[in-house]
Structure 1
Amino acid sequence: MKAHQKMLVGIAAGTAAGLLANQLAGDTEALKWVVANLTMPLGRIFIRLLLMLVVPLLFSALVMGVCELDLKQLGRLGVRTLGYTVVFSAIAVALGLVLVNVIRPGEGFNLEALQAAEKNPLSLKAAPPPTSGSPVGFLVAMVPDNPLRAAADGDMIGLIVFSLLFGAGLAVTQTPGARRLRETVQGLYDVMMRLIDGVLRLAPFGVAALLFSVTADLGVGILKNIAAYVFVVVLGLGLHLFGVYSLAVRFLGKRNPLTFFRDVRLAMVTAFSTASSNATLPTALKVAEENLKLPNHVSRFVLTAGSAMNQNGTALFEGITVLFIAQVYGVPLSLSDQMVIMFICVLAGIGTAGVPAGSLPVIMMILGMFKIPVEGIGLILGVDRFLDMCRTTLNVTGDLAAAVYVARGESASEPPPGAPAQQPG
């Protein structure tokens, strides 16, 4: 069986067994014992294995994402690409937060879910929430005085800021030692991705255990919430893909949106089927150069950087998922809390791995920051593969839309940023 087929079997088995246990055993001590001592610990081990990799993965991914931009020679291409990424990621997250606040897919089982989480003796330790106070105080608190302590304390905003600064410093330091350090960080990233791939092989069992625990406690009603959650995510992705990107292509790229979507359909289909921005990169480059007729140096730079940092769909998905799980467990999030979540999602989008399920560690990190039960991630794991395919399609299309915008006014004969200068003689 393929990985996604095994996941589907785990989803079906865990959900069906949990619903059956809820109907037959109800609120009995035997079912409570099974959940508390068997299925929930198994699911928690799966989650903790993923959480264990968050800090090194986030650090290495952010550092390499910034390093590969070659900051010394970016020029106007880098400025325009980075500006586009930040603005459209913010629009995506804001759109998602509006939808999840208006539709509120997580409401309906708040009290039951919260009581189940409070009674469970195996709750994971949550990271500290962001420091409340004035905007100036928050900006000051973003800069960690000790990055190692920030990572140990779960201060992920501080870790993200340090990682971005470290990556910028590494990008502009051209010494033999710095180049070796860059290779070391790349090696760390490669190892983390291999470990995550290994942990995800356990996903069918972990997901089955988590879904059994949730459905055995909450019954069939929670499936209505999950269906509403999927609807909100797909609606948000669709509005951003066909609404926001159409406007961007028309007014920033000066192209017909219908022609643009027709030209990039091969890349969109590849992204949907692989659920990986990295795996779709060769196809996206081919589409950009052959169908969109973009200058080679623009398409290669923007699409390569975009596959690592222009993750609009992932940022939107992360924001919706955090608020959905908060609604399920009845954890209130103020407007300022949601602004912080939006900020984190935009920043984390730079370093989210362009591979299937690459956003799950970031979501769990944010859940911990706001004291939302991290085991709530089990609610969405069953539908994550489909949503991953959808958000990857948005990510890849966004990269191509960015390339169309950046290519305006560029000459096809210009050398790419960072190309080595000709040596005399």
Structure 2
Amino acid sequence: MKTKMSLTTKIFAALVLGIITGLAVYPMKDNPFISKYLIDFIFNFLGNGFIRAIRMVVIPLVFFSLVVGAAGIEDVAKLGRIGIKTLIFYLSTTAMAVILALVGGNIINPGKGVSLGTVAVSNVTVGQPKPFVDILLNMIPINPVEALANGNMLQIIVFAILVGVSLSILGERTLGMKRLLEEGNALSLKLVEIVMLIAPYGVYGLISKTFATFGFVAIIPLFKYFLGVVVILFIHCLITYQGILAIVGRYNPLRFLKRFAPTMMVAFSTASSSAALPSSLKCMQETFGVSKSISSFTIPLGNTINMDGTAVMQGVATIFIAQIYGVDLSMANYITIILTSTLASIGTAGVPGAGVIMLGMVLTEVGLPMEGIGLVMGIDRFVDMFRTMINITGDAVCTVVISKSEGEKLQEA
């Protein structure tokens, strides 16, 4: 009986095969036939065809995911202060994760000194520096339809959140609209699944072209990117999360990690926040002793809007791609990345690989080429396992902190 190869295995195999193919073709890259038909036609078609498919699904995925996510936060009104504290925790830690990623990315410099972008750099432009007030004002869409048509991600995010909140307030009067938007969200996720089916071919084309053009030197920044993301994820988990847990929640971080470790392993192995949701709920209620009224709110909400691990990946990946293409990001660009990644985390689906799709909107917002996704796509499954583990750990830390702030007595033994 034949065992069906998983998509993850196919993508990794495509990465390895792409590296081998590219290195084999590299010595012959100046041959007119090889250059014109193999590199510029076959590799280029496979890689950029995949990139165009990603761009096709980004906007509907962002819009529907955010609307449905915001519309589903009905318990915020019921829980009052618990809802406000939870939202503040999730959004602030996500912003901290992005800032940490940007600082760490500039220290590690995963793409620095490697001129992979010399061919394309002349075609790359990033937004000119703008006053901070203009960045904030530009988040408010004058014409939402125009924002959707032009792919203005920050405006789309703000509009989608407002629509979702309005639907939540209107309640039963908009059940038909909610159902329609939920169906649109399901359709967008299915489109992502379909696009991901061609991911191995896209990764093969992009990686083959990269290594065929630049040779073995291309593997160095790829390894630095992976190492950089993992190191920053663990710093965020062990310092940011455990620091908040100890100082604000007054709970022993070592005890927390020991108790929550089995659920972390579920998230790590599945690379899916949604798959780890049942385990997270059970662990919070039975192992930690958090009440159902709190854990049943904070964990599912965090599963929807708290994607710190994904935000870290997006921050480091953006710096990586910018450095690869020789583009200097301004302070305004960094502010845009922080805002976009923080708000984008609300709409990141809790399924494997969704984060790399959402990366496309961050790159679009700062004007970086989406072709850079091809470099990170090949190893994204391995990064995804680590960032998913961090995502669900953040949900659990928030739950414990909120529980303690509400005077609940947690299990200490």
For the pair 1:285 / 2:281, whether they are aligned, the reply is yes
1:417 maps to which residue? none
* Cα distance in 1 between the residues matched to 2:360 and 2:346: 17
| CA distances 1:354-373 after superposition (whole Å, capped 9, x unpaired) | 11111122211222232322
2:86 maps to which residue? 81
> Which 5+ residue runs of structure 2 have no aligned equivalent?
none
Shift of 1:204: 1.2
* Cα distance in 1 between the residues matched to 2:372 and 2:80: 43
Q: Tell me how many residue pairs correspond in the alignment.
A: 403
For the pair 1:174 / 2:179, whether they are aligned, the reply is no
Q: Which of 94, 98, 101 in structure 1 is aligned with 2:103? A: 98
Stretch of structure 1 that moved more, 355-364 or 157-166:
355-364
* Cα distance in 1 between the residues matched to 2:63 and 2:187: 13
Are the counterparts in 2 of residues 116 and 217 from structure 1 also a CA contact under 8 Å? Answer: no
Shift of 1:130: 5.6
Normalised to the residue count of structure 2, the TM-score between the two structures is: 0.94
Shift of 1:56: 1.0
Shift of 1:45: 1.1
Where do 1:44-63 residues align within 5 Å?
44-63=48-67
2:33 maps to which residue? 30
1:306 maps to which residue? 302
* Cα distance in 2 between the residues matched to 1:131 and 1:190: 37
2:246 maps to which residue? 250
Are the counterparts in 1 of residues 264 and 392 from structure 2 also a CA contact under 8 Å? Answer: yes
Shift of 1:409: 4.1
2:154 maps to which residue? 157
* Cα distance in 2 between the residues matched to 1:172 and 1:371: 35
Shift of 1:412: 6.8
Stretch of structure 1 that moved more, 99-108 or 66-75:
66-75
* Cα distance in 2 between the residues matched to 1:409 and 1:99: 32
| CA distances 1:56-78 after superposition (whole Å, capped 9, x unpaired) | 11011111111121143240111
Cα 1:409–1:91 shift into 2, 3 Å: closer
Letter in 1 for 2:206: L
Letter in 1 for 2:343: L
1:6 maps to which residue? 10
Shift of 1:43: 1.2
* Cα distance in 1 between the residues matched to 2:133 and 2:203: 42
Letter in 2 for 1:166: V
Are the counterparts in 2 of residues 117 and 373 from structure 1 also a CA contact under 8 Å? Answer: no
1:399 maps to which residue? 395
1:335 maps to which residue? 331
2:180 maps to which residue? 184
Normalised to the residue count of structure 1, the TM-score between the two structures is: 0.91
For the pair 1:41 / 2:54, whether they are aligned, the reply is no
Identical aligned residues as a percent: 34
1:141 maps to which residue? 138
| CA distances 1:190-218 after superposition (whole Å, capped 9, x unpaired) | 11111111211111111111110111111
| CA distances 1:100-156 after superposition (whole Å, capped 9, x unpaired) | 11121101223x4231565xxxx8xx9x96675322222222111111101111211
* Cα distance in 1 between the residues matched to 2:134 and 2:366: 18
2:23 maps to which residue? 19
Letter in 2 for 1:29: P
| CA distances 1:253-288 after superposition (whole Å, capped 9, x unpaired) | 211000000111111000001111011100111111
Where do 1:223-238 residues align within 5 Å?
223-238=219-234
2:73 maps to which residue? 69
Letter in 1 for 2:377: L
Are the counterparts in 2 of residues 144 and 158 from structure 1 also a CA contact under 8 Å? Answer: yes
* Cα distance in 2 between the residues matched to 1:238 and 1:46: 31
* Cα distance in 2 between the residues matched to 1:366 and 1:217: 26
Cα 1:169–1:129 shift into 2, 3 Å: farther
Shift of 1:303: 0.4
* Cα distance in 1 between the residues matched to 2:373 and 2:218: 14
Query: What is the RMSD computed on CA atoms of the aligned residues?
Result: 1.8
1:420 maps to which residue? none
1:273 maps to which residue? 269
SS for the counterpart of 1:142 is coil
* Cα distance in 2 between the residues matched to 1:131 and 1:297: 47
SS for the counterpart of 1:408 is helix
Letter in 2 for 1:36: D
Are the counterparts in 2 of residues 296 and 412 from structure 1 also a CA contact under 8 Å? Answer: no
* Cα distance in 2 between the residues matched to 1:397 and 1:327: 31
